Chain A
Amino acid sequence: MKIKLQRSDKIFEYEVPLNGVTLLEALGYIKENIDSTLAFSSGCRSSVCGSCAVRVNDKEVLACAYKPKDDDLIQPLRNMPILRDLAVDMDRALAFNKIAKAWGLPKEEALHVSGEDAKRNELQSDCILCSACFSACPVYSVNEDFIGPFALTRSLRYVNDIRQKDIKPTIEAIQTNGIYDCTLCNECVPVCPQGIAPKQDIEILRNKSGIMGYLNPNILAGFDDGLNF
């Protein structure tokens, strides 16, 4: 099998004499047998640690869950600095979780959570922080401070948790460079290996923000234009 890898600004071709293996195994083969300088990230090999996301023919996939075909072009994720080859620096992307204040803020007393309550954020808490959605999001080409899909999904996870003492800090944290900067383009949805739809989560957060009295600055801007007219 012949696969093409983008390493810095060049494309390299490798012949991997294995069949029916995952892309991650093929990368391991190249590193151990052909070129030990190749860099990529891995961990669990079973699609749960979120280490190995890359782009194959322009679409984000987990290398450990993808079977490569002849002539596939493998590239690193977008929207973050490349450390080397397919390995990217996640520091900045992960920092958005903190900017979004996506964390548990527990009530003093313990609470009974029903099965139905638990369903309210079950899907959002399946996120493995692989960054596939972050890489697919077009907003970063115009606003690199956009809080972005996974951090906003994480916000909804906690906003929708009945154990949360106060959801206001989280909602407030995602008004600027957050929910209204998303264009609702849906690019983040099909690439998520966990079936999460950050776009939908963002729409829910917009509704909740509206109910809590936060205003959509875009509508406001439109309104201003109207007055000037």
Chain B
Amino acid sequence: MVDVLVIGGGGAGLTAAIHAKKDGANVALVSKTYPTRSQTCMAQGGINAAIGADDSIQSHISDTLKSAQGLADEELVGILCEHGVDAIKWLDKIGVPFSRNKGIAQRKMGGASFVRACYAKDYTGLKILHTLYDQCNAYDINMLSERFLIDLAVIDGKVYGAYLLNIKTSTVELFHAKSVILATGGYAKVYGKHSTNHVGSTADGIAAALRAGAKISNMEFIQFHPTALKKSSILISESARGAGGYLVNSKAERFTDELASRDKVSLAITNEMQKGEEIYLDVRHLSAKFIDEHLPQEKKLADLYENIDLTKQLIPILPAAHYTMGGICVDKNCTTNIQGLYAVGECANHMVHGANRLGGNSLLEIVVFGKIAGEAACAYAKKEMPACKVDKHKDILSQINTNPTVDFYKRRAELAEIFYTHVGVKRNEQGLLEALEYIQALQNELKNMGVKNIKLAYNTELAEFLEFKNLVLTAKTVVLSALRRKESRGAHYREDMPNKDDNFSTDTICYQENDEIKFP
């Protein structure tokens, strides 16, 4: 039994664990991968904070609100941007190896009025994540990996711990805790191969929270990055366009302003594709020296995944699902509607990104709200009595079908295609209804799916099947939310309702009751 159980070892979870421990809590951190393998390591661009001489917190706030298109909470955006400066100071202090010029080096990212994104070469997320991990070692935090959150232990609206699958042994363990912090990342892997994300961004925490009675919101808002490699959806960073790269169609014509915001460029590309065009990124006119200095990763990845030399050939690209704005509803202390349950990072909706996240704000979010969540959970645990007895042997594994007649890997790939086609950059009523119908059929079919592998030691098929079930549940909330939002706003573009409508300047909130998704 611990005071604070943190689930998820990305930037959000590690930060929360450090601050809870600092405040005196007994902390354990569990995650399905080793912490340093979390998606946070993939962030290259940078982390925003108004530390530049010309910049101001006010400007950071107004850029964030503008991008959010009326759906962010001004108070929370204020907290994010004000605490941003201290967050960078803290990261600097504990040893994050930021690149330097006069001070911490910063670069300009889309939608920012100033040069605001602090970076560490092309490894901003990697270096932050590893530095936080080292701090967890310094604070002697118990980190257990290969532990998969199956469900939260909740009785009468109060959390008592979590049921974890030990992937190494396929046993389910109840982990008792006075408070639980979910930091399990986003859900962009609903789009499968059409996502830039880490293989583990499968909505596990959001689905578990939903099953436990938590509210979630704005699930329809998913940011598509305009330039991912066509075959693999590996991200080609914005800097390729920032440096003067062109977007061209099969006729070698440019068709859009390459420097417009991500949602606009993704939309322009999708329109072009619907005319039957193939889309390419063209950097051939940039000097070889420039490419070696500024785009070395992209050069390597284009060679590896598309077998092309980008200094001589066009790079085939497609928009891909990149960041999920929706998540578990939390207040400014990261509290959910379940007592003792907190959520932080991409799995939560901190109401700072609204309809469209600004690049560089999510790394900031995980550090700023990670601290707040850790401190809040610690304060709660200190006044909480030891947990009551919860059902120790929740029998989860025996319910899994070991003679499946339907292959879930096939369905997972199908779901991804259907989502990319109908719930992608462009949506309409008919397509969304088709997607809904597909998901409902999938839910009925789930009983015929399961795992062929019945071995206990390190059964990754079992973990992947549990992830798939979470994706299906989450997918349903995305489609239902998208159907209700009869307007276009930020990353949610309805071709049948292309304008913003003030009647929809509110969050789309839902929860699950008797196996049904409800909207209050």
Q: List residues of A whose CB falls within 8 A of some B CB.
A: 20, 22, 25, 31-33, 36-37, 39-51, 65, 67, 83-84, 87, 89-91, 94, 97-98, 101-107, 110, 112-115, 117-118, 121-122, 125-129, 154, 157-158, 161, 163-164
Contact = CB atoms under 8 A, between A and B. Distances in A.
B457 A84 contact: yes
Given A39-B459, A43-B37, A83-B146, 19 more contacts: A41-B33, A43-B200, A45-B232, A46-B297, A48-B126, A49-B41, A51-B34, A83-B168, A84-B455, A90-B145, A91-B145, A98-B137, A106-B93, A113-B92, A118-B97, A125-B127, A126-B123, A129-B130, A164-B95
Interface of B: 33-34, 36-39, 41-42, 89, 92-95, 97-101, 103, 120-121, 123, 126-127, 130-131, 134-135, 137-138, 145-146, 168, 198-200, 232, 234-235, 297, 300-301, 304-305, 307, 409, 451-453, 455, 457-461
20 contacts: A31-B460, A31-B461, A36-B451, A36-B461, A37-B455, A37-B459, A43-B198, A44-B198, A51-B34, A83-B146, A90-B34, A110-B89, A112-B103, A115-B100, A121-B97, A125-B97, A125-B123, A161-B97, A163-B95, A164-B95
A31 B131 CA distance: 34
A194 to B, nearest CB: 10
Nearest to A88: B458
A114 to B, nearest CB: 6
B460 A87 contact: yes
B450 to A, nearest CB: 11
A1 B232 CA distance: 20
Given A44-B41, A104-B134, A126-B123, A39 B460 contact: yes
Contacts of A48: 41-42, 123, 126
A118 B98 contact: yes
Contacts of B99: 115, 118
> Counting chain A CB atoms within 10 Å of each CB, which of B100, B145, B307 scores highest?
B100
Contacts of B234: 45-46
A22 B37 CA distance: 19
A117 B104 CA distance: 12
Contacts of A154: 134
A94 B34 contact: yes
B460 A106 contact: no
A42 B461 contact: no
Contacts of A49: 36-39, 41-42, 198
B458 A84 contact: yes
A105 B458 CA distance: 36
Nearest to B89: A110
B37 A51 contact: yes
Main SS of the interface on chain A? loop
Contact of B305 (A22, A106, A164): A22
A67 to B, nearest CB: 7
> Counting chain A CB atoms within 10 Å of each CB, which of B97, B305, B409 scores highest?
B97
A67 B301 CA distance: 12
A43 B304 contact: no
Given A90-B34, A125-B130, A104 B94 contact: yes
A105 B138 contact: yes
A43 B121 CA distance: 21
A200 to B, nearest CB: 18
B457 A37 contact: no
> Counting chain A CB atoms within 10 Å of each CB, which of B33, B37, B94 scores highest?
B37
A185 B205 CA distance: 45
Nearest to B104: A113
A22 B304 contact: yes
A67 B307 CA distance: 11
A152 to B, nearest CB: 14
A122 B198 contact: no
Nearest to A33: B409
Given A48-B42, A90-B34, A43 B199 contact: yes
A36 B92 contact: no
Given A45-B234, A158-B95, A118 B100 contact: yes
